[in-house]
Protein backbone atom coordinates (compact mmCIF):
# COMPACT_ATOMS: atom_id res chain seq x y z
CA UNK A 1 0.00 0.00 0.00
CA UNK A 2 1.29 3.46 -0.92
CA UNK A 3 2.07 6.12 1.67
CA UNK A 4 0.04 8.70 -0.29
CA UNK A 5 -2.31 8.77 -3.27
CA UNK A 6 -2.63 11.50 -5.87
CA UNK A 7 -5.81 11.31 -7.98
CA UNK A 8 -5.24 13.43 -11.09
CA UNK A 9 -7.81 11.78 -13.34
CA UNK A 10 -9.15 14.15 -15.97
CA UNK A 11 -6.04 16.34 -16.05
CA UNK A 12 -3.71 16.49 -19.06
CA UNK A 13 -0.01 17.19 -19.53
CA UNK A 14 1.80 18.95 -17.94
CA UNK A 15 -0.49 19.22 -14.89
CA UNK A 16 -0.11 15.56 -13.72
CA UNK A 17 3.69 15.83 -13.55
CA UNK A 18 3.55 19.22 -11.85
CA UNK A 19 1.14 17.95 -9.18
CA UNK A 20 3.18 14.76 -8.63
CA UNK A 21 6.40 16.76 -8.29
CA UNK A 22 4.79 19.00 -5.68
CA UNK A 23 3.26 16.08 -3.75
CA UNK A 24 6.41 13.93 -3.69
CA UNK A 25 8.36 16.80 -2.09
CA UNK A 26 6.20 16.37 1.03
CA UNK A 27 7.17 12.69 1.41
CA UNK A 28 10.13 11.20 3.25
CA UNK A 29 12.77 9.05 1.56
CA UNK A 30 11.38 5.54 1.14
CA UNK A 31 7.73 6.68 1.11
CA UNK A 32 5.64 5.82 -1.93
CA UNK A 33 3.22 7.87 -3.97
CA UNK A 34 0.41 6.22 -5.92
CA UNK A 35 -0.67 8.34 -8.90
CA UNK A 36 -3.96 7.74 -10.75
CA UNK A 37 -4.29 9.36 -14.17
CA UNK A 38 -6.49 9.12 -17.25
CA UNK A 39 -4.03 10.87 -19.58
CA UNK A 40 -2.48 8.27 -21.94
CA UNK A 41 0.58 10.51 -22.26
CA UNK A 42 1.23 10.10 -18.56
CA UNK A 43 2.83 6.69 -19.17
CA UNK A 44 5.73 8.26 -21.05
CA UNK A 45 5.73 11.33 -18.80
CA UNK A 46 6.03 9.41 -15.52
CA UNK A 47 8.71 7.09 -16.90
CA UNK A 48 10.75 10.17 -17.85
CA UNK A 49 9.94 11.95 -14.58
CA UNK A 50 11.19 9.01 -12.52
CA UNK A 51 14.34 8.64 -14.60
CA UNK A 52 15.20 12.35 -14.35
CA UNK A 53 14.37 12.73 -10.64
CA UNK A 54 15.89 9.34 -9.71
CA UNK A 55 12.72 8.37 -7.85
CA UNK A 56 12.14 4.69 -8.70
CA UNK A 57 8.96 3.78 -10.58
CA UNK A 58 7.96 0.67 -8.65
CA UNK A 59 4.74 -0.15 -10.50
CA UNK A 60 2.80 1.02 -13.52
CA UNK A 61 -0.28 -0.32 -15.22
CA UNK A 62 -3.65 0.47 -16.73
CA UNK A 63 -7.12 -0.75 -15.91
CA UNK A 64 -10.36 0.53 -17.43
CA UNK A 65 -8.67 3.65 -18.79
CA UNK A 66 -7.02 4.60 -15.49
CA UNK A 67 -3.23 4.57 -15.41
CA UNK A 68 -1.65 3.76 -12.05
CA UNK A 69 1.91 4.54 -11.04
CA UNK A 70 3.68 3.87 -7.76
CA UNK A 71 6.75 6.03 -7.24
CA UNK A 72 9.21 5.71 -4.37
CA UNK A 73 10.82 8.88 -3.09
CA UNK A 74 14.58 8.41 -3.09
Q: What residues are labeled active site?
A: 13
Residue 64 three-state SS = coil
Report yes or no: 35 and 69 within 8 Å, Cβ to Cβ.
yes
Q: In terms of C-beta density within 10 A (0-12 exposed, 13-18 middle, 19 or more buried), how is residue 44 classed?
A: exposed
Amino acid sequence: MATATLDIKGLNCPIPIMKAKKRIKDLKAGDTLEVLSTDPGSVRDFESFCRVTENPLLESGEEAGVFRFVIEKS
